[in-house]
């Protein structure tokens, strides 16, 4: 798994699950595609249900490592600075809040080229919830005439050399991953059978259990055709 944010969350949950049996969190990517080719995007991790336990552990951790983990998850300044260097990306903001347990990053992209560069950036991919683009884990957007394709594959958890595999699976069992796409044009159809089109036919929602995505039982790949 190349995503350092998820690694931090995973390592914390490996500690608390045996004590509290809590593994619920959610990840949401949201994109608004404009007719001029620009994109507004956000990436959110909802850690509301585990934040109080994380803070409790930090208060009793004399080494300060737990507090450092919280800070790296909610205030990844290095990552955001690297994203700002990508041509075509603007308004990179960290709107995360430890009080609510919400990790939230927002960005604007002038075009899909800028968006795909951010995805392929090793550290930047973490802020977008994506693995580094490799042959095995392809992640990119491709635009065509009245069409947008999203290729999105995640690292298979069964391929990880992790002695805590059973615990990791328990950690992910209630976690969900959602992608939301908004368009100015009306949507004609979407080829992913798990996709839901909004009543006004301007938005598409794909949601799946995170564990199913890691194990290849579900995928977030889709082709959206607009009118």
Instruction: List the domain boundaries for the chain.
Output: 4-226
What is residue 38's predicted lDDT score, i.e. its pLDDT? 95
What is residue 119's predicted lDDT score, i.e. its pLDDT? 81
What is residue 129's predicted lDDT score, i.e. its pLDDT? 42
What is residue 42's predicted lDDT score, i.e. its pLDDT? 92
What backbone torsions phi and psi does residue 114 show, to the nearest 5 degrees? -65, -40
What is residue 78's predicted lDDT score, i.e. its pLDDT? 78
What is residue 67's predicted lDDT score, i.e. its pLDDT? 67
Q: SS in 3 state form for 175-196? A: CEEEEEEEECCCEEEECCCCCE
What is residue 55's predicted lDDT score, i.e. its pLDDT? 72
CB atoms within 10 A of CB 174: 15
- DSSP letter for 62, please: T
What is residue 14's predicted lDDT score, i.e. its pLDDT? 47
What is residue 157's predicted lDDT score, i.e. its pLDDT? 55
Output the pTM of the full model: 0.80
CA nearest to 224, candidates 205, 200, 199: 205
| Residue 139 CB burial class (10 angstroms; 0-12, 13-18, ≥19) | buried
| Residue 106 CB burial class (10 angstroms; 0-12, 13-18, ≥19) | middle
213: three-class secondary structure by DSSP: helix
- The number of residues making up the chain comes to 227
d(CA 122, CA 89): 16
What is residue 197's predicted lDDT score, i.e. its pLDDT? 97
d(CA 49, CA 31): 25
Given a contact cutoff of 8 angstroms between Cβ atoms, the answer to whether 139 and 153 are in contact is: yes
Please report, in tens digits, the pLDDT of each residue of the chain (227 residues total). Answer: 345 555 555 554 444 444 344 557 888 999 999 999 999 999 898 888 777 777 777 777 677 776 677 777 778 777 788 888 899 999 999 998 888 889 898 999 999 999 988 887 644 344 444 443 343 457 889 998 899 999 887 766 555 545 556 666 666 778 888 999 999 999 999 999 999 999 999 999 999 988 888 788 888 899 999 99
For residue 116 the two structure tokens come to 């795909």
Over its C-alpha atoms, the chain yields an Rg (Å, rounded) of: 18
What is residue 211's predicted lDDT score, i.e. its pLDDT? 82
CA nearest to 41, candidates 134, 138, 98, 111: 111
What is residue 30's predicted lDDT score, i.e. its pLDDT? 94
């Amino acid at each position: 798994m190349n995503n350092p944010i998820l690694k931090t969350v995973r390592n914390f949950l490996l500690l608390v699950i045996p004590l509290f049996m809590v593994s619920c969190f959610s990840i949401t990517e949201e994109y608004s595609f404009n007719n001029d080719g620009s994109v507004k995007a956000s990436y959110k991790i909802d850690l509301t249900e585990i934040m109080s336990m994380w803070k409790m552990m930090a208060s009793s951790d004399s080494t300060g490592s737990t507090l450092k983990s919280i800070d790296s998850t909610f205030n990844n300044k290095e990552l955001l600075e690297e994203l700002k260097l990508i041509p075509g990306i603007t308004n990179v903001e960290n709107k995360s809040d430890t009080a609510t347990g919400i990790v939230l990053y927002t960005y604007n992209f002038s075009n899909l080229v800028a968006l795909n560069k951010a995805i392929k950036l090793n550290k930047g991919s973490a802020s977008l919830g994506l693995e580094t683009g490799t042959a095995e884990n392809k992640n990119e957007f491709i635009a065509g005439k009245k069409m947008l394709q999203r290729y999105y594959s995640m690292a298979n958890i069964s391929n990880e050399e992790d002695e805590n595999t059973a615990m990791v699976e328990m950690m992910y069992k209630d976690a969900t991953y959602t992608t939301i796409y908004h368009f100015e044009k009306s949507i004609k159809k979407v080829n992913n059978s798990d996709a839901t089109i909004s009543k006004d036919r301007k938005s598409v929602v794909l949601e799946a259990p995170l564990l199913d995505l890691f194990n290849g039982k579900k995928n977030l790949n889709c082709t959206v055709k607009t009118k």
